[in-house]
Every structure is written in C-alpha cells, then in structure tokens.
Homo-oligomer: A and B are copies of this chain.
Amino acid sequence: MAVATLTFADRLAAEVERKRSQLVVGLDPRVDLLPVELRGDISRFCCGIVDAVAPHVVAVKPQLAFFEALGARGIAAFEQVCQYAKRAGLLVIADGKRGDIGSTARAYSEAYIEGEPPLADALTVNPWLGRDAIEPFLGAVRRGGVGIFVLVRTSNSGGDLQDAVLKDGRPMWHHVAELVDEWGADTAGEVGLSSVCAVVGATHPRAVAEARRLMPRTILLLPGVGAQGGSISDLTRAFQSGPASAIVPVSRSLIYAFRDAGSDYREAAGAEAARLKREIWTASGW
C-alpha cells in the first residue's frame, strides 16, 4: 500500500508500535520561559526540542496561539517547526482549535491539513458550530492521511457549556462524543481506529473512562498531565481500544524541564521525554 493511502490513525498506530510510545510533545514557545540565548528565536528552540525528543515521542503538538502572538514572524517559525518535525519522522498535530462556517472552515482546512504536502498531519477543531462546520475537515480526513481532534471535554474546569445538562439527563459533552463517534464512522483504518479523534482532559479521569465507552473507535488526546495536574496512572482505561487508542501530550513540564534541572534545555527535555514515555507505556497496559 502506498504511504499516501494510509489513514492518519494507521500512521499514528505504526509509530506508537515502533517506538513503544504514546507521548506527544506540546510546543508552547513562551518567549519569557525560553533559555535566555534563544529568546529571539522560537524556531531554533522548538527544533532543538524536536531533536532531543524525537526517539521518545510519536508527534509534536505546536500550539498556534504562541506562534500567532509573534505575528507573521511567529507563523514563519511555525511553518519551519512543522517541516522540521516531519523531517525528523514525527507526526504534527497543529493545535489551533479552529472552527467556522463551511466556506471558512474550508480555508482553515487548506491552511493546515490540505496541500501537497499539508503543513500538519492533524488539526484540533472546535465543534460549537456543528456538523456542517466540521464537514470540510471531514472531507480532508476522508481523502486520506490526515486527522482532526475534536474538543469533546477540555482539560480546564470549563463546564459552563460542556457539562450543561441536556433534556435526557446527560451532559452536553456526551452528546458531542456521540457526534464524534458518528462523524468518524466511515474513516476507520486498518487497525480499526478512526482518524476523527477527540480531546478529553486527563484532568477529568472519570470523563476519560466514559469517553472511551462512548467513542470505542476514537483516538483520545489526553491533555492536562504535568503542569495542569492530571495523573498518568488514572489514564489506563483510555488505552482499552489499543496501544494507539490514546496519546498524551505534555508541554510545559517537558519543554521547560531545564528550568528545574539546571541542564541544557535539550538534555533536560530528552530525559523527561524518555521518563514520561516509559511511565505512559506502563500505565497503558500494553
């Protein structure tokens, strides 16, 4: 089978098996936290992190907000970092939480997960505008090779909307979980996982277990471990649909590990990635 016809889920699953890792490094370049000598160059910082963690992680998740905060120069750095990570053999999940009406969603899809080759392998998307706003992204997913991560239950307290109780007694996010399961039904790859994935905060372990039940074929991205207080040992059930059925992004506590370790930023990030990779693999039970 040609590489281009593999689904995003299959590509991710192959990397998870090969590296025995479900770890994703979140790239949140906050200028004031960078090593002093790199404060003018977030691209170089992020590429240094990529070099250091590449053996231990399956994907990078650059957070667009921190690149956008630097304007056009920041977006140029974002593009460089995406290309560098791909050349290092990592999948790229652009964390932009985009969402808009159909014709505009198509422009976002073109910006991040379409093109030859697309800038990223997947994009985080916001479901608030409903199915017709997600459809352009689903089109890109169906054409193959890329994925989306729909915000189902985010890692913040944020329950004003997501936990609102529906007429049938369920929280709103359960309804969204069922929509995600439905949207992804026709995208399942060879390993049986869908490329329409979901974000569920590791800070809500009960929600993670419920999400697994509501979305059996869905890859769960579980943010909130580390700086936000989520615990890896609480996540075991997320992996019940296979070793690649959940992935764990860690950002600040990994990329800024040098600030506590007192060592070179790459060395500290590499060591922390190796440690987290083992801890997550053990917790996954695979």
Task: Tell me the smallest distance from the CB of A221 to a CB of chain B, in Å.
Answer: 13
Looking at chain A's contact residues, is the secondary structure mostly helix, strand, loop, or mixed? helix
List A residues 154-196 near B (Cβ within 8 Å): 154-162, 164-167, 169, 172, 175-176, 179
Q: Are B75 and A99 in contact (CB under 8 A)?
A: no
Shortest Cβ gap from A215 to chain B (Å): 16
A278 within 8 A of B: no
> Oligomeric state, in number of copies?
2
Whether A101 contacts B69 by the Cβ 8 Å rule is: no
Contact at B175–A151, with CB atoms within 8 Å? no
A38 within 8 Å of B (CB atoms): no
Q: How many residues of A contact B (CB 8 A)?
A: 54
A165 nearest in chain B by CB position: B167
Q: Given the complex of chains A and B, what is the CA–CA distance between A164 and B162 in angstroms?
A: 12
Interchain CB contact under 8 A, B128 and A151:
yes
Does A111 have its Cβ within 8 Å of any Cβ on chain B? Answer: yes
B69 and A72 within 8 A (CB): no
Distance A201 CA – B111 CA, assembled complex (angstroms): 25
Question: Which of B72, B98, B102, B176 meets A97, CB within 8 Å?
Answer: B98
Residue A107 lies at the interface, judged by CB distance under 8 Å to chain B = yes
Residues of B within 8 A of A65 (CB): 98, 100, 104-105, 107-108, 111
Q: What distance in Å separates the Cβ of A34 from its nearest Cβ neighbour in chain B?
A: 14
CA distance A161 to B129 in the complex (A): 7
Q: Contact partner of A158 among B101, B108, B167, CB < 8 A?
A: B101
For A175, the chain B residues whose CB sits under 8 A away are: 161, 164
A-B contact pairs, 26 of them (CB 8 A): A28-B104, A63-B100, A68-B75, A68-B111, A75-B75, A101-B154, A102-B156, A126-B128, A127-B160, A128-B128, A128-B154, A129-B156, A129-B158, A129-B162, A130-B158, A130-B159, A130-B161, A132-B156, A133-B156, A133-B158, A161-B175, A164-B172, A164-B175, A166-B166, A166-B167, A167-B169
